[in-house]
Every structure is written in structure tokens, then in C-alpha cells.
Structure 1
Amino acid sequence: MKPRVLMLPKWYPHRYDDQDGDFVARHVAAIAPHAHVAVLFATVARGPLPHWVTCEADLSASLPSLRYYYRARLTGLGILDKVLKVFLYFWCIGQGYRRLVRHWGAPPHLVHVHVLLRTGLFAWWLQVWARIPYVITEHWTLYLPINAHRMGRLRAWLTRRVIAQAAALHTVSDNLRQALADLGVTNARSVVIPNVVDTELFHLPDSSSLAEEQRLPGANMLLHVAAFNERAKNLSGILRTMSRLVAKRPSLTLRIAGYGPQEEEVKQLAAELGLLDRSVFFLGKLPQSAIATEMRRANCFVLFSNYENLPCVLIEAQATGLPAVASHVGGVPELVPADGSRGLLVSPGDEVALQRALEKVLDYPERFKPQQLRRVAVAQFSYAAVGRSFAQLYAVVLHGSLTPVSA
């Protein structure tokens, strides 16, 4: 018998951004074949609302969902609005929970929290009040050493308590598990299950496909896909490195897909370096299908981040057979091992090392085996593989057995 599982995500695709928390949505989709899943999500509205709260309900879908939005400005008084928004969040989640219980005709067997903290507080309360166990999935780079100082004492204390009381803690990388442990945030049952990617959409170039979806021998095309967040992604470092590379390789191009708060600043730097629309091309926000096409065209993926967790873009690149040059940060070495079979690692901020690594990948493409890259991606990061891992976790939590609950 499949269990009823209530998904409580902090981030999830919504009306204002259909890519926000898409990695969480893919986890949910991987789990769905193994459980009766419903998603309950609430967030601050990024536009005007006719009332304080509005709800988008889709309970007839194969994956039922309730998305609540509440106003960002309620009274115009900052401190009061902050308190009211906390109240509205829990009011929305409470209303949604009761509605989903009516939809199912019974309470959930399990609550699955995706990213703390309010989500976990509600799950903890359900455990105390209704004895419904909960598991926690954590993605947040807040817990990494570079960011942990931003966490206040109250949040840190509550995080430790909520995670300690959970039936299991799941992190998407061993690096994040260790970072939490270093902060004293532990659980007796901790597992690492990676992010999931669509390995059907992200596939190897097809020799019979159109030329624009083929990886051409001898081409010099780099690809970067990420949010325009300079502190995290260090796009300026990529652009400066690109400027030096183009001086030696005039035909080299870099295509950048993504969006974010510092997009204009990054474009301005590209213009100042004489790269904009000559060697560097900004593609804007792309759907997953277009990103997959870009990966099948590129010769190397580049990710020069100052910190990361377990970036899905690296897995997607591997599923298309595309090697990468990436910073040795966070969970990246778990995706790009030191043997160099999937790409090369460089120290964060080391632009000289980045240039050398990119030149090596471009000059010696034969050292990377696209079929091998894809086999690893399918075996470890596909919907089927990740879904089986979650089914086993649920079996242990609910029945103390390794037999998947959907069996």
C-alpha cells in the first residue's frame, strides 16, 4: 500500500517564477510513483493581491497541489508586517493541511519537509499533535561555512531541535551533511540522496539531429547556466578569464543562460571587456528543453562558484555527455571526482587555474567519454534512481524495513 505523503517545500515553482525550487519539484516527481503525494506551499506574493491571501488549488491533478500567496505589505509598518506574515504563513499552511486531509479522506502517513525552517516547525507540531512522523530534505547553502554566520541564534537553536526530532534527515550532498554536523545539527538517521535531473530530456547529442543540437569537433563553445548572483557564482571571474582566453583563441565563445538580481552589472562588465555580443552571449531565462539543447552544442561547461551545494546543472551537463570545469567547493567534488573523468576542478577564485583547465578540456576533448558521463548520470541521478532511494527511506521510517513502501 502506498503511503500518503504531504510535501511541505520552502521553495517550489509558483506563479511568479516557474523555476524557483525546480530541484525540489523534481524530487517530488521522483517520489510520486512510490506514494500518494500532495504539495502544500505558501509564499509571499511578488505582486498585488485582491485580498490578504489567495490560493491556487489543483487537487484533480496526478500530483495534487495547493499554492498559497499572501501580501508582502499589510500595514506598512515593517516590524508589524513581519509578524503578520509569519502568522499568515502558518494560517495558510493550516488551512491547506485541513483541505488536503479532506481531499484524501485521512491524514498523511508522513510529512516530507523540503528546506527549513517554518516548514519544519509545522511538521514538528503535527508530530506532537497528531503523531505524524516527518523527514527533512535540506538543500540550503546557508549552512555552509561561508554563510553560517548569517544564521541567528534563535534560528540555529530551532534548526537543531527540529532536525533532531525528525524521523530522518536527508541532504543532497555529503558535504552539506558534514556542514550541518559541524554546526551541531544532527539526526540519528541521516542519509544522502542526490539531486535528480531529467535524463530523458538531457541526453547525448543525436548524430541524426539538426546541426544546432550537435557537439561539433574542434569547436570552441563554453556554456554557463546559473543565477546572476555574483557573491555565489563569480561570473565576473569567468568573464575576466574569458577575456584572456579570447586573446589567444579569437573563435572562442561563451553562452550564458540565467537570470537574477545582478544581470545588468554582469552585462556591463562584459561590455567593458569588449566581449558583449562578440564572444559572450547572454541568453536570458531559458526553459529546460532549451538548456538541454545548449548543452548538446557546447564543448565545455564552466561553473566558477565561490560556494555551491550539489548543482543540478553539472548533473545535467553529464547527462548530455558534456565535461565541466568547476570550482572545488561544496558538493561539487562529489560530481566531478579527482580522477578527471567528468571534468576538472580548480580552486575558487583562481582565474589562472580556470584558464588552464578550460584550455586543457578544449585541447584534449578525447579524454572525456560522453557515454561514460551519461551512464553515471542515469545510474545515480535519474528519476528512477532517486525515486527508489526515497522509497527505501520511507520504508525504513514507516515500517523499519528496507522494502520499498510501494512494493
Structure 2
Amino acid sequence: MKILFLSAWYPNRYDPMPGLFVKQHAEVVASQHDVAVLYVHPCNIVEKEIVCQNIKGVFTTAVYYPSGANYRWGNQIFVKAFLFLKAFYVGYKTILAGFGKPDLIHANILTRVGVVAWLLKIITSVPYVITEHWSRYLPSRNEYKGFLRKYFTRLVVGHSSGIATVSHALKTAMENKKLKHPNFVVVPNSVDTSRFVPGKELIKSPKKIFSHISCFDDAAKNITGIITAVDKLSRKRQDFELHIAGDGPDRAKIENHCTQLGLTGTFVFFEGLAEDHTLVEIYQKSLFTVLFSNYENMPVVIAESMACGVPVIATPVGGIPEILNKTNGLLVETKNTEKLSDAISWMLDYHADYDAGTIRTFAEVTFGQKAFFDAYQMFYNKAISE
């Protein structure tokens, strides 16, 4: 089967972080199907640029197009919409030439790419399914607003052949917004458990190391709150190091904040963007991983940490309570830095009470690529059998 992925978020030349889970999803499906990805990105350029690459068996087409900022009416919504749709049109022609007509379209992250999938269905009669990752529907975020957004989202959902989310919390939140479908499934994000594995032995260090892997979006991830908790803890004990890996819009702000507190190089270390084996090594040298998000859906970081047999401290937002329990980590109250500081201190002392093998087994069953592929195969089969 030929499957075309459309995605609102995807790793690109400007930022390798957005939509990594969509890229990983496409690669898993490509193990058994022919898969292409089409992604468009507005830029401050004059002429569009089309980049086609075969990345891990996925025919990947990125269209970089003028954002319209230099046009007289470039900031008008109808101009932006026209440029967006034009970029997808050009990209789809490239897909047809290099990949062929798809049997199924898979739209990731609503609403705009869902509209594109719906238009393609009208024009080509190719059915489409949706996977939603965006946490905006959740009560903790509540950003699903606006008449046009709601109208087009309901239209796109209603004409789709199925919807998938990565958590029951998101599914319930969408259904509460009247976004329902008879083929509505929950499939957690996948992790390559052959790559994310426990270390053969804990890397020796004079200090106890724990980690935070982040896209440096402070409004969502509340990295500032983690730093505050570490600052409080550093006044009580000095036997630990927090290693932060990743990149994103608030990285400079967070690094400056740490420097001002005198934590950088003593209690907090910034690893920069970590990928592939470097990322795995960060998990393997950590006693535990910490997240302190204000809102979430189903963080891949938790799945990766568990695949390495490493317990997690996180907040009870989004789908996190569905996977985090007393066998694999701790839940702490959102925004409560005092409770987070106490949880980190407790975990520094009692991390050995968690069994790495049990955590790893849970990750394999819940996030393993075989389980992920089988679930999506059933989802796709039901979609195309309509």
C-alpha cells in the first residue's frame, strides 16, 4: 500500500526537533509499506524551493515557500492560506512524479493539513485518516477556539476514514469537543527499543546524574520550574547534577537564568542538541529523567527513558498518568516546585528501588515498534475497507 503522510510539524532545515514522532511513525510504517511525506514550510525567501530525499526508506518532500511577509498584503489570512495551499499543490505534483498516487493519505496534526487531505480526497478520491498530537483540546490548555477553526476541524474529521490519538486523555478531550468518529483509536507513540536500551553498566560519576530532554518551550515544559526546584535542592545537598539536552526557542533564556543563579557548571549542565547514540547515552548515564510540563499529550521522552530502563518524574497532565505509575516513576503536582524538589531528592536516594527490567518490559509492550505497527495496520485496514 502507498501511504502519503501530510504533517503540520516535521524536522526541517531550520529546526530538527518539530514532529520527530511523525518522522518516526513514517519510518515504522515504511518497513512494510511504501511511504512518502509531504511537508511545507513558510520562510523569508523570494522563490520556493523543493527538496526531495529518501530518508530511511521514506520518500520525503519538503517545500520551502515565501511566507508572504514581503508582500503588500502578505499578513492577510487569505494570502497566507493561498500560499500554503499552493505549496502543497506543488509538493503533491512532485509526489505524484516521484512516488505515484497514494492509496491512503495520513494527515498529522490538525487543522490545516486536514483541509489539504479533505481537498485531495475530493479531487482524487483517495481516503484519508488523521493522527492528532496537539494538546490544545485538553482542559489544561483549552486553546481549541474560533468559529472557523472549529467548523473546518469538524468538517475534516467528519469526512475522514478514521482518527488516532496517542492518549486516551486527548481522545476524550476531542470527543468532548464533538470531534467523534466510529473509527477512533488510541495508539501511543513508538520508540525504537533496539536502539534505546539500558546501559551495560551505569557510567561512573562523582555526582548522581539525572536528565531533562527538552524542546526548550518553557510555556509548555516549564524548564524554569525545574531550575527553581534544583536551586532549592542545591541548598540542602550537593551530590547531584542535572543534565539538560535539546534545543529550542527558550534555550538562551534558560541558560542565562541558570548562570544568574550560579547553577551552570556546578548543578546544571547543558548538553546541546542530542540525537541518535548521544541521546541514548544521556538516558543511560541518568538515574532518572524529569519533566515538569504545564501541559502535555504523550511525551516521547518518557517512552525513550523507560525503554532504557530509567524511571521518570513527571506531572499528571495529558496522557502521562496513563503510563506513569509506582513501578516506573513518580507524579508530582503541576507548578509546585517545592514538591518537585522533594521528589528529585527522594529519587536521588531511592532510584535503585525501581527495577530497570520491569520498566524496560513495559516500554517494549507499550511503545515497541511491532505493537505500534500492528495497531496502525488494523487502523489503516478499517479505513480503506469503508
On the 8 A contact 2:327/2:354 being kept in 1, the answer is yes
TM-score, length-normalised on structure 1?
Answer: 0.89
TM-score, length-normalised on structure 2?
Answer: 0.94
Is 1:296 aligned to 2:272, yes or no? no
On the 8 A contact 2:8/2:39 being kept in 1, the answer is yes
On the 8 A contact 1:346/1:353 being kept in 2, the answer is yes
What per-residue deviation string (whole Å, max 9, x for no partner) do you get for residues 337-387 of structure 1?
2xx101000110112221222222221223211111111112221222211
Indicate the residue corresponding to 1:394 in structure 2: 380
On the 8 A contact 1:10/1:114 being kept in 2, the answer is yes
On the 8 A contact 1:70/1:85 being kept in 2, the answer is no
* Equivalent of residue 28 in structure 1, options 26, 29, 39: 26
Indicate the residue corresponding to 1:40 in structure 2: 38
On the 8 A contact 1:52/1:74 being kept in 2, the answer is no
Distance 1:254 1:217 in 2: 13
* Equivalent of residue 335 in structure 1, options 320, 323, 334: 323
- CA drift at 1:300: 1.4
- The alpha-carbon distance between structure 1 residues 75 and 239, as it changes in their structure 2 partners (threshold 3 A), is closer
Indicate the residue corresponding to 1:374 in structure 2: 360
Is 1:140 aligned to 2:122, yes or no? no
Indicate the residue corresponding to 1:221 in structure 2: 209
Paired residue secondary structure (2:195): coil
Of 358-367 and 157-166, the range deviating more from structure 2: 358-367
Instruction: Give the number of aligned pairs.
Output: 386
* Equivalent of residue 153 in structure 1, options 147, 154, 178: 147
Identity of aligned residues (%): 31
- CA drift at 1:228: 1.8
Distance 1:217 1:344 in 2: 24
On the 8 A contact 1:9/1:41 being kept in 2, the answer is yes
Distance 2:305 2:85 in 1: 39
On the 8 A contact 2:68/2:74 being kept in 1, the answer is no
Indicate the residue corresponding to 2:351 in structure 1: 365
Paired residue secondary structure (1:34): coil
Indicate the residue corresponding to 1:403 in structure 2: none
RMSD: 2.0
* Equivalent of residue 125 in structure 2, options 131, 148, 152: 131
Of 353-362 and 220-229, the range deviating more from structure 2: 353-362
Structure 2 gap segments, 5+ residues each: none
- CA drift at 1:272: 2.8
Indicate the residue corresponding to 1:95 in structure 2: 90
Paired residue secondary structure (2:40): strand
Distance 2:381 2:144 in 1: 36
Indicate the residue corresponding to 1:18 in structure 2: 16
Distance 2:98 2:352 in 1: 55
Of 172-181 and 352-361, the range deviating more from structure 2: 352-361
Indicate the residue corresponding to 1:268 in structure 2: 256
Counterpart residue identity of residue 329, structure 2: G
Distance 1:177 1:78 in 2: 38
* Equivalent of residue 227 in structure 2, options 204, 215, 239: 239
On the 8 A contact 2:295/2:317 being kept in 1, the answer is yes
Indicate the residue corresponding to 2:180 in structure 1: 186
Of 121-130 and 369-378, the range deviating more from structure 2: 121-130
Indicate the residue corresponding to 1:57 in structure 2: 52
